[in-house]
């Protein structure tokens, strides 16, 4: 069960880092994906990271 909880926390970390990368890409001039697509992508990645983080916390409290 600890491996599953670690997997949720690792996945949420990856999703949050991807969100940060997309926010940084918005600031760069001349990027191909339009800014509105990058904003949508960052929002989806951030919400997915939040959901997986909350699932990891709930599982962590359930096991403890």
Domain positions in the chain: 1-63
Q: Categorize the per-residue pLDDT at 64 as very low, low, confident or very high, splitting at 50, 70 and 90.
A: confident
Cα dist from 3 to 18, 38, 57, 59, 62, whole Å: 22, 32, 13, 11, 14
Three-state SS at 47: helix
Kindly report the pTM of this predicted structure: 0.88
**Residue 38, C-beta contacts closer than 8 angstroms, at least 6 positions apart:** 22, 23, 25, 26, 31
Q: What is the pLDDT of residue 32?
A: 84
Q: How far apart are alpha carbons 19 and 27 in whole angstroms?
A: 13
Express each pLDDT in 4-63 by its tens digit.
999 999 999 999 999 999 999 988 888 788 889 999 999 999 999 999 999 999 999 999
């Amino acid at each position: 069960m600890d491996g599953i909880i670690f997997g949720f926390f690792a996945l949420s970390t990856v999703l949050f880092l991807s969100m940060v990368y997309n926010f940084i890409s918005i600031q760069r001039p001349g990027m191909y994906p339009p800014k509105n697509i990058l904003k949508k992508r960052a929002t989806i990645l951030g919400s997915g990271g939040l959901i997986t983080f909350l699932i990891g916390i709930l599982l962590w409290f359930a096991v403890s």
